[in-house]
Copies of this chain bind each other. A is one copy, B any other.
Amino acid sequence: MQMKATVPITTAQLRSACSQCNLLELCLPFGMDEQEIQRLDELVGTRRKVKRQQPLYRAGDPFEAIYAIRVGWFKTDVVLEDGREQVTGFQMTGEMLGLDGISTETHSCNAIALEDSEVCVISYSRLEELSREFEGLQHQFHKVMSREIVRDHGVMMLLGSMRAEERLAAFLLNLSQRFTARGFSGVDFHLRMTRDEIGSYLGLKLETVSRAFSRFQEEGMVEVQQKHVRLVDLPQLRKLIQHPVGR
């Protein structure tokens, strides 16, 4: 059902492969020297465009590659037999998708584009080969996986121990930091996901998310208009997380 819009790479496009890519410091080749990165261009054989709402992969799909997001946004989610959905993450430019597939050679979650997006397809077997050759690549890849584990622990903290408004504050601050790291405004941005998706990620209902936004607005911490968000008072948001209730 899913359109595999896999395009073979042309000579022209190859110039913008890893060695020419401006995502370098966010992506796999970080820490490798120039020469090594040249060799890396072998790694990304193809690109793939994914239209909004379309899956990059689905739970159950055989695992063959991991993906680096070039442009766009994705969500990953897990679905229970009874239909309950849990969003496990939102991924943006320079972030990696598909690591869940390595363990069973089958993807265990869905990756859905939140807007028209494009990814680099990184053959996993090729990646293993090359990372046996290049220490820097190996190390960076391990770091990427480890970072995902650490991130997951943060989400557990959020889901297990924080209250609704703390969760939303943490979520907004996390987005802020990731936008900043990419050279975008960290205080003024556009949400790619719905209230329902945010709610699923944060373990809340969409109404609760909406109400929390409204309260932040009342308190003068945030200006919200639908999907557009302005963080007016970052310190206050940070304080909210560290000093939960009234204390």
Interface residues in chain A, defined as those with a beta carbon under 8 Å from any beta carbon in chain B: 76, 78, 80-82, 84-86, 88, 99-104, 108-109, 128, 131-133, 135, 138-139, 142-150, 152-157, 159-162, 200-203, 242-244, 247
Contact = CB atoms under 8 A, between A and B. Distances in A.
A162 to B, nearest CB: 8
7 contacts: A80-B161, A82-B243, A103-B149, A103-B150, A104-B150, A132-B132, A145-B146
A202 to B, nearest CB: 7
For the complex formed by this chain, how many copies does it contain in all? 2
B149 A80 contact: no
A-B residue pairs, 7 tightest by C-beta: A102-B146, A152-B152, A160-B203, A159-B159, A103-B146, A103-B147, A86-B157
A101 B146 contact: yes
Contacts of A86: 153, 156-157, 160-161
Contact of A153 (B82, B147, B152, B202): B152
Given A128-B135, A132-B132, A149 B99 contact: yes
Contacts of A144: 103
A153 B108 contact: yes
Contacts of A80: 157, 161, 242
Q: Which residue of A84, A88, A99 has the most chain B CB atoms within 10 A of its CB atom? A: A88
A109 B235 CA distance: 25
A167 to B, nearest CB: 10
Contacts of A155: 152, 156
A102 B84 CA distance: 33
B101 A160 contact: no
A128 B142 contact: yes
A100 B149 contact: yes
